Amino acid sequence: MKTISFRTGAALLSLFLFLPGCLDIYLTTQLFPNGEIEKTILIKGDSTDLESAPFYFMQDTGWTRKDIRVDDDKPALSLTRKFSSFKELNKSMNPEDTTIQVIRVKSDLKKKFRWFFTYFDYSETILKADPYKTLDWRNYLTEKELRQLKLTEDQRKEEPQFNEDEYKLIEKKYEEFVMRSAFEDYFRILFSVLKKESSYAAVQSELLNRKEELYHFMVDSSNAEHGRDLTEAVDKFLNRTDLIGLILKYPVPFKIFDDKMELWDKIGANSYKFIIRMPGILLNTNSTQVEGLETRWEFTGNDLYFDDVQLTCESRMINKWAFVVAGIVLLLAIGLAFKPRRGKTAA
């Protein structure tokens, strides 16, 4: 892959984050009365991109996978799996290994038994997809600026108060947030490796003293395809040639950083459609798209990047057996109430 400057790479990625997706990913959850959950995933797009969906289920072998054709014979990938509980589902959607770089979805279900009815309170939380998690975007953007940043080109044209010059300033703030986030994460990884080598004590001290200078050096001149590119930039910045060898000696942390950059690249390219189907009668949801017992949410990568996103549904199901039992008890009570009493016999 062609290397690009740190600044150009971040700028392109920030722009890429707000473009229409190359994959349409449908994630459907069917909740059953006994707490079992069936998950169906449909991924539509170019055949060469179908395997790049940024979720752990792409690595999980427990799913039934089928290559199918949809929408005028276009290629698609279908994955289905039934789970005994939401806890089992979480193992496939929110793996315990935090070094796995994927979009994570955490499910939760609370069942409340109220004799004649059972209430189901189900939620899916799409955990913040920022792979670096080093900085808070609120230190760079206001809520209003973030809303403007998320506007599509058509929405910007329709917005009467939209100002092109203000928008460009917001883009620069966002670009700074992107680059700072990646830099802080890389710097943390590099420092953790340097601490393992006593011979690099002086290097640690120099990097701490010149950290801001290093950041601007990378922004202006370095490549940002992989952690290796950034490490080569550090060598160049310090007039050294040996730091690049740390990647061979400590490959794991640098591989994790590369995975984060890859996840960043994947997130913004897609559209995400979450569908939840509840048992019984739907009572409450934070979805604005409801049809019968089905609720739907639609997101792009920018919606998932900045904060957790929670999807909630509450439904009520009639316990038919409870009515049957109550009816039997009522009939028995009526029968006992009207049953003739036997008189007492004389002694």
| Whether 111 contacts 99, CB under 8 Å | no
Tokens representing 121?
Answer: 């309170």
> What per-residue confidence (pLDDT) applies to 162?
85
Position 248 pLDDT exceeds 80: yes
Judge if 67 and 128 occupy the same domain: yes
- Asked whether the CA dihedral 223, 227, 230, 231 is positive or negative, the reply is negative
Residue 82 lies in a domain: yes
Q: What percentage of residues in the chain have a pLDDT greater than 90?
A: 62
Instruction: Work out the mean pLDDT of the chain and round it to a whole number.
Output: 87
> What per-residue confidence (pLDDT) applies to 16?
46
Closest-CA residue to 16 (of 227, 291, 265): 265
Considering only CA atoms, give the Rg of the chain: 28
Residue 140 lies in a domain: no
Q: Three-state DSSP class for 269?
A: coil
- Domain span including residue 70: 6-132+267-323
Tokens representing 184?
Answer: 């802080």
Confidence of residue 331 (pLDDT cuts 50, 70, 90): low
The DSSP code for 327 is H
Judge if 29 and 99 occupy the same domain: yes
Confidence of residue 296 (pLDDT cuts 50, 70, 90): very high
Residue 162 lies in a domain: no
Q: Where are the beta strands (DSSP E) in the chain?
A: 23-31, 37-45, 64-70, 74-83, 105-114, 117-126, 270-277, 281-285, 289-291, 294-300, 309-318
pLDDT digits (tens, 9 = 90+) for 141-176: 999 999 888 887 788 888 888 888 999 999 999 989
Count other Cβ atoms within 10 Å, centred on residue 86: 21
| Whether 109 contacts 311, CB under 8 Å | no
Q: What pTM, to 2 d.p., does this model score?
A: 0.84
| Whether 102 contacts 96, CB under 8 Å | no
Phi, psi of 73 (to 5 degrees): 65, 30
* Distance separating alpha carbons of residues 114 and 106, to the nearest angstrom: 27
Over range 78-92, report the average pLDDT: 96
| Whether 283 contacts 314, CB under 8 Å | yes
Residue 126 lies in a domain: yes
Position 4 pLDDT exceeds 80: no
Judge if 23 and 124 occupy the same domain: yes
Closest-CA residue to 282 (of 125, 116, 120): 120
Residue 146 lies in a domain: no
Closest-CA residue to 230 (of 267, 205, 193): 193
Among 4-13, 292-301, 310-319, 320-329, name the one with the lowest average pLDDT.
Answer: 4-13
Q: What's the number of domains the chain is made of?
A: 2
Tokens representing 139?
Answer: 């230190």
* Distance separating alpha carbons of residues 301 and 14, to the nearest angstrom: 11
Closest-CA residue to 178 (of 12, 1, 300): 12
Residue 331 lies in a domain: no
Over range 70-93, report the average pLDDT: 92
Judge if 23 and 116 occupy the same domain: yes
From residue 56, alpha-carbon distances to 61, 67, 228 in Å are 10, 18, 25
- Asked whether the CA dihedral 92, 97, 100, 104 is positive or negative, the reply is positive
Residue 13 lies in a domain: yes
Judge if 128 and 271 occupy the same domain: yes
pLDDT digits (tens, 9 = 90+) for 41-64: 999 988 888 888 999 999 888 999
Judge if 203 and 232 occupy the same domain: yes
Question: What's at 35, amino acid-wise?
Answer: G
> What per-residue confidence (pLDDT) applies to 115?
72
Judge if 113 and 182 occupy the same domain: no
pLDDT digits (tens, 9 = 90+) for 107-121: 999 999 877 889 999
pLDDT digits (tens, 9 = 90+) for 271-287: 999 999 999 999 999 99
Residue 78 lies in a domain: yes
